[in-house]
Amino acid sequence: MQIFLDTAEVALLKAGVASGLVDGVTTNPSLIAKSGRDFKEVIAEICDFFKGSVSAEVAALDAPTMIAEGRVLAKIAPNVTVKVPLTRDGLIATKTLSDEGAEVNVTLCFTAVQAMLAAKAGATYISPFIGRLDDMGFNGMDLIEEIRAIYDIYDFRTKILAASIRSPQHVRDAALAGADCATIPVPVFDALFKHPLTDKGLQDFLKDWAGTGQKIL
């Protein structure tokens, strides 16, 4: 499963990308607003040091303006993925932009039927929001499994990008449910490396090694 980082903080992204384990980046207007910087400048800077998919979201709600904004965003760099909301107008924009060769990430998906429509419109990625469904008392992973089943039956090529990820357990469950990718906050990404038994085992190894008095270098 591919791992995307969900942030617009350039310093955090650079640290994550340095691990060699990051396949993509997702941003949205809220994340850009927190940075206090110019939207297009941030996207351009990210694309300058990272060559994987970088999702940049349109701000319009009507299809013609979404298409116009999407074209502008797609020209920032070859690896920009235009991000649009899962609305009727959003899918109209998806169809046009994908037909023009742009990658499109359709976001704010909450049902399998929505995901089917996005795939028919030519979306590169569909972003079901797992955590928000959990907040409403549903099991977000059920949605991942439903989308996976529909996409496999009809051979849709759209990638399932699990979003609204809250914990390492969400990442594990999304992988088991068949998600192609998961976009996760940096703190969750950092937590993927950690386990108390790993820490304890390492301490024991180092203690035993110190007792030998040996060195490798």
> Is 83 an annotated catalytic residue?
yes
From the candidates 40, 83, 95, 120, give the one annotated as an active-site residue. Answer: 83
Which residues does residue 2 pair with via DSSP β-bridges, in sequence order?
181
Burial of 31 (0-12, 13-18, 19+ CB in 10 A): middle
| Angle subtended by helix axes 88-99 and 112-120, to nearest 10 | 30
Judge contact between 84 and 63, C-beta under 8 A: no
For residues 113 and 115, give the distance between their C-alpha atoms in angstroms, rounded to a whole number.
5
For residues 24 and 6, give the distance between their C-alpha atoms in angstroms, rounded to a whole number.
9
Q: How many CA atoms lie within 13 A of 59 on its CB side?
A: 9
Residues known to be catalytic: 83
